[in-house]
Structure 1
């Protein structure tokens, strides 16, 4: 594989011009996504007299969990639609339009349009997000380190948007009017769409057409006919489900819905893995690696259940129990949501160097050990929050440093676990089941999001005395899982993964 641009290719700083198109598209999309997300729970629990929805914490955090889980689940059909029906370029365009429609629907000061706006954002994100990332890879058919550098630049755009979104939308939403924050998110997505359309030519033919499922034209025609029918049936089902809720014919209770959705996702995920193990005609080595993947899937679900307290429980803790004054200025609680993206921008290059440095000295931790480190750092973060909670119980407000330190620890945990997770799935999966197991990875991520919402609902604004105990329980479980995984990491690597298959944090 070459590390240089193909002869005659138009580049910017050695990279395809299309990378800048996708960089700014994703930057604006993430600005809108994280900007709205920073406001979501705060808006739902805010009193109606201040323009909020006046929901209780359990309901609001359950809705948050359902929303974030749905975003991951819709990425699966979103990728399929692009691959088999309309291509990645059009998927990104239509997805962005639906996202913008969702944000502007949220901006309407009506309780009736709120859930419709969330549905639009979920569907649009499922179309845009996976296909923008896939399209980056298509810009580098030669592979090599230039492709890796291109993805690094692309992820800088993601985190730049994630950093700016809460600052802009959070300030407008909390300081001026909730719905101004949602408008800002929609405007951000529109800016992304405008630049995408104006620079679309830079993508060339990449992602223009869907990939045929069959070489035979007649079979392909029948496949497309069935696929389009399935797509429109799916759209009709969504319309009916939403319509039943708005008509009052069916009442969707968020907490039970989140609980039962989590149970269904867990059973589906484990059921598929068991079917694959016993009836997937796997070799002995493939079965061992599938067992290792199952362990990693379950651990990462627990990881995201703790990590995603950021947008729910930690957001409420910042609003209610944190002293938000710095040098005499009272900043919005939602600004804490920018910290993770900023820390990733600052720390990711260091971690990339650090793992390589350890690898050269034969000290690079194994994949299970990195997952264990991720869980331990998550747990330590909750121990910090337990200390902050004791300050609140004593009748004082916690200083911003408590949340800042927690986000730092959780970001370190993310950098230990998340980069290696998708790579582990691609490396350990049997080739003929690779796509379905990648979908299973996202399925367990969605499970983690649902758990995060349900866990956040355990905290009560009316019983702050319980906060230290709940934080301690989460910390004990997280650290306990991490320690157990660390103790068995060598066994998992040697017996299940294989000593010859190390998966590093740079995806190789």
Structure 2
């Protein structure tokens, strides 16, 4: 029998972490350190790739187009691999093992990227490290959130409050990562920044293992199948995974060696087209041939519309790490009291606004709901796009006056990020919730995957759009993005009453 001082007993009473299960603290800091590593490295990624290959702190010397395409492909696969990562946890390992193995692979990826510090070659370690981080994030990211949900079998408002605390950990890590990794990477050595990201993930793994007992039974494999069935499934999974990775590795080597005359930009564009075509065909099948009722077909049509809007939103928002990061480096005056702050530090602005703005937006929606004036889901998506567009219009205005000799104040980027965050808080929190409400009962898991694909597609497009800095001045690029996104937002607002009718009584 557990004593009153036993942490397991305290966890069971739910009074160990802001009145929540003790396991929430374990997951809070695991995710905080994982996001520290992810956003810390991401803040350096495009800057490192575009830095001159010679000098005191050499980079890879890539063109803007190539660097942005690599960035888009990297962030695309981070989201896409969340789908097989969830499958592995559900069918082979359980979420708890998937999180730990994923974190180990992430840390290995960051240290691989830092390989030139011990004399390893730049390009193989760079791309090998990115591949490892993608695989590890696919295992960790979706499953740590699943374990949080399992800490609250009763569901309800307490679970929502637990997730709110958990998301604060995400943004705390996203805030700190660029500050530490950015300073080390830009001011000392890029690979020190990558190393710092790896050490952050190691800290997360250490505290995860130390606090694992607080998770109780959450995150264990629950298939109920025999060992022989699981072993056979594992063999098939490893064989298929090895074949896929081997094929991708061979293609990457052939492109890098010149055996295949295909640019990375072409690969990214082709992949984007394929994803769009597959998404259209998939929804056409669901609506026309899958045997759903009339109401379900209407709601699937709404999901497809929200999928398009979400992909457009992320295609602009996720330029924070690419085109906006390059603008911060090249055209922003970052000198404070005679010292120039790293460009990557401005990547920490968005998490600050999330931490401040999320509770305010939550209170706003509740207040409007009491007055029966809470905007519908389609209207919130439209407002998200309009907020994003407003941010790009502001930055286009600032960029029109910026030159390398006369850079502009960082206030232009701060205001832009504030508007982008407002758009994110209108669209992102209601995204997954709306999908679960609209999806047919036998399609909820698939529709959750669709949401990840929308994010992945948006990230891929963001990289391709940012690559246009090779051909367009920053002011023209930001203005074009603002006009396209703003136009989509206006269309979404105009058709929102019709979309609301298709939703029926779902809200």
- TM-score (structure 2 length as normaliser): 0.93
**Counterpart in 1 of 2:329?**
319
The alignment status of 1:140 with 2:152, answered yes or no, reads yes
The answer on whether the counterparts of 2:92 and 2:233 sit within 8 Å (CA) in structure 1 is no
What displacement does 1:371 show? 0.5
1:96 is matched with 103
Q: Is 1:421 aligned to residue 428 of structure 2? A: no
Q: Which residues of 2 match residues 332-411 of structure 1 at below 5 A?
A: 332-392=342-402, 396-411=406-421
1:122-152 Cα offsets, whole Å, 9 max, x none, are 0000000000001000001111221111111
Please say if 1:170 is aligned against 2:182.
yes
- Please name the residue that 1:26 is paired with: 31
Contact 1:85 1:210 in 2 (8 A): no
> Is 1:13 aligned with 2:45?
no
Deviation by residue 1:429-486 (Cα, 9 ceiling, x = unmatched): 00101111111111121111110000000112xx66x332222221111111111111
Contact 1:265 1:444 (8 Å CA) reproduced: no
In structure 2, the gaps of 5 or more residues are 1-9, 117-121
Matched, 1:497 2:507: no
Question: Is 1:242 aligned to residue 249 of structure 2?
Answer: yes
State the shift of 1:87 in Å. Answer: 0.3
Partner Cα distance (2:223, 2:308) in 1: 33
Aligned residue number for residue 505 of structure 1: none
State the secondary structure of the residue aligned to 2:314: helix
Given candidates 443, 452, 463, the residue that maps to 1:433 is: 443
Does structure 2 retain, via aligned residues, the 8 Å contact 1:266–1:444? no
1:6 Cα deviation (Å)? 9.3
| Aligned partners of 2:50 and 2:63 also within 8 Å | yes
- Give the direction of change, closer, same or farther, for the CA distance of 1:12–1:230 in structure 2 (3 Å limit): closer
5+ long unaligned stretches in structure 1? 503-508
Whether the 8 Å CA contact 1:94–1:127 is kept in 2: the answer is yes
What secondary structure does 1:308 align onto?
helix
Match among 169, 194, 199 for residue 187 of structure 1:
199
Query: Of residues 64, 74, 82 in structure 2, which corresponds to 1:75?
Result: 82
Match status 1:209 vs 2:209? no
Q: CA separation of 1:7/1:242 partners in 2, compared to 1, >3 Å: closer, same or farther? A: closer
Contact 2:330/2:404 (<8 A) preserved = no
- Count, aligned residues: 488
Larger deviation, residues 225-234 vs 315-324: 225-234
Asked if the contact 1:82/1:210 (under 8 Å) is kept, the reply is no
Cα distance in 2 for partners of 1:132, 1:455 equals: 32
* Corresponding position: 1:47 with 2:57: no
- Two-structure CA RMSD over aligned residues (Å): 1.8
Structure 1 distance, partners of 2:435, 2:153, is 22
Query: Could you tell me whether the CA contact under 8 Å between 1:319 and 1:333 is conserved in 2?
Result: yes
Q: Are 1:233 and 2:240 an aligned pair?
A: yes
Tell me what 1:64 maps to.
Answer: 71
Quote the Cα distance in structure 1 between the aligned partners of 2:126 and 2:144. Answer: 27
Post-superposition offset of 1:252: 5.7
